[in-house]
Structure 1
């Protein structure tokens, strides 16, 4: 039905008028309220305009008045207080203006007062919501909704005197100033407190802890300061906690992890510091978590995988470090995941391919390395992915959702290659082949053999030096060394050193202990570079550097190293807790990750012991060979157990 409301004053026995959602326009006829037996008037969701007739005070039996979502304007007439039987007054989503009349407090039976989304104010003579004081007369009040009105006032302490039956208080986006009174804690049966998007200052009142029935607490978008009081943890029925967009600081109380009812936790855009409490990862029923734009530090634990039903995790804009735990791959309800703008390192876990419901993935602006897992191609719902400004390398996958991604998803990764659509260089077949070969040929299986070869070559070089000196002079003191190795024929010596330019190590005026010729920069021992001292301990230093290069894929001459930071010091500082941050990502992957990390850690520790500054403190070749064999054996046993 459309058109205007016709005169119905002759319906004297009418007690329920329901014309909602009919496209009605024009004013509300004042004669409607002359029908003395009317108990319910429902004119909501129409296009009615004009004010509420002052004759509303004649409706002495009216209990429920629904005028919401129309185009009504003007003031709320004081005469409304004469409709003393009103229990429900819903005027929201109109254009009412002027102050909220304090006479509403005369409606002693009022249960539901809904005035949101109008242009209502408070009386100019007062600075607080004084009409709330009048509502203390309404002992059956259950719901107050004032949101989206320019009230521009403060909360009175009388808020604590409102009915004990009150369960919902909505006053967001009302330009409310000042602090939240401690008296709010008297509202013991309140389930919803919504004060977001105001201008509240001061701290979160500790008295909130008394509101044991509270399920929804919205204080976001204000200017609150201080820390989250531990009293919040007393709210064991709390499901939604929104404190984002304030100036809150300090650590998050670990006791928040004891509120098992929590479903939504928004603490973003504050000044929180310290680490994320480990207890938060025990909230197994948490649906949405946003801790972004704070100053949280520390690593993400494997326990993040406990959040089995979580659909949103945003940890962006913090100072998190370490690696992305592979356990995130178990969060199969996850839809949005962002850890952008942190200091995370290491590879992108292959387990991301298990996030079957993922739509948005943002890993940008970190220090992630390695390749982009092809397993992500399986994510059929993925709409947006950003891995820009990391240290990723290798081929950008093209299958699945990658076909719909833009150039911006991969910016700032100079070693990525792939399809022209991503505006990166094409991948070289040889580099891909070499990468695959490297991932198959695990250095752990060849290092003992290299060590054995180094042992033999070291002895051969010693024999070669002795042989060279004998050709120049016949000092008898050289003979013991020659007799030790007399079983090695000259032909064997030439075969072993074929292609080896011994002048790179030995000068023409060679002696047993010194030479004036420098070995390869970055691999030579300190005593050789400074004094020209040659020894088997120097050979061990070079072998240690070789092991470091093998397992980190970093050369001692890389641009990242200078006088202040060398390859060995970089590795030494990372051990033992950050081995995966320095290890070649091609040697890791998801399978047997723990065994691989332990193996690489052990090898790099041997390498560090080979490169200590004092020659006499370095491991000798026999000890290195034994250590590498033990590491290999332990690694093989670990693989056999999995």
Structure 2
């Protein structure tokens, strides 16, 4: 709803309130103490705001079953009161700035916990060694923190667990403790999972095949990318995608679950992204994204490319960065997909290849000479960054002759942005803050999409700049400079 400010204390007068939902707004501060009066409250859903703390009074809410405070500005340790909510089934504090450790006796205080999500914070210390005592626990996600030490062998006692997320920490695995294997999935199971690859489950087509939504026999929702083997290069694309996705791991890259390879059938099975692609969010009439949401998505994409270019032993060039290849999970975290034409190389390398990338997003040197390098990905990222904030495709009919998306943006900077971002009734200080941030974003996009590869910045610099812009927005918000940014009803794929 684009709401902002703090939560009024009068909320405590709604004595029969069962569900409290303020997701995807710009509320800040804390939940008022009067919430303690709500004796029937079952669910607190306040993700994607700017709340800075969870008050201790939350711990007195024994009847609350769901607490979602993901993607806010929470800092410091997780309040111990949160770990005393005996009826709590789902605790989601993903994507905040929380520090400290998790109590080892967590299960004694949260006996009903089913989903524990604390990923993308700054938590540290050892993993809780008694998680197996949580008899109802189905999923826990502690990815992208600073946990250290060895993975407890006792996790193996949690036979009911469906998902364990502990990647991107400082953990070690002792030989024989854990064995993770790809489960080979048959063609028959994929047929059943997708209802015979029925068109009602078709998510999209492009490149070398089609992608279907499906549900495996174990209940896991997946995306099944089926390759059209009648197309020249399809089999090579299948091999490349399996190779790339099985060897690279990052929270902002699509994850491969398995591959299915038979004489006349090739498919990769991927994590299902319920919120679809960035392209659909930009151009669907039923959805809109505010500045922070767009910025968070582009930071996620930048982090993925930074890893591919600089964080892997051999640099990887994606070669086809565009909005339809940027997929969003249930928390609106972006994942870069489609590695069918990706290239392996060393450092900021240059190679020559056939031109297969998408017109409008491919770097000039790629389109004219077939030159592939990490700088080509940087160019594509710059174009997508412009598109994300202007809502204009590089192939828009308005771009003819000498006028291009980059030229248009260069001429006007922040005045070309999507009108939804500026709003109709901005206060002066809101407008100035908004305009300054958008100008910074556009200057960065132009630095990425420079005509000459040598003039482009790299993804390390792009990530650093985007994070500084985000911190400026959050700092202004904390000082009371609120951006009046509307959020329309969301689109769900």
Would the TM-score normalized by the shorter structure come out above 0.5? no
User: Structure 1-normalised TM-score?
Assistant: 0.33
User: Structure 2-normalised TM-score?
Assistant: 0.43
Higher relative contact order (CA 8 A, sep 6+): 2
| Structure (1 or 2) with the larger CA radius of gyration | 1
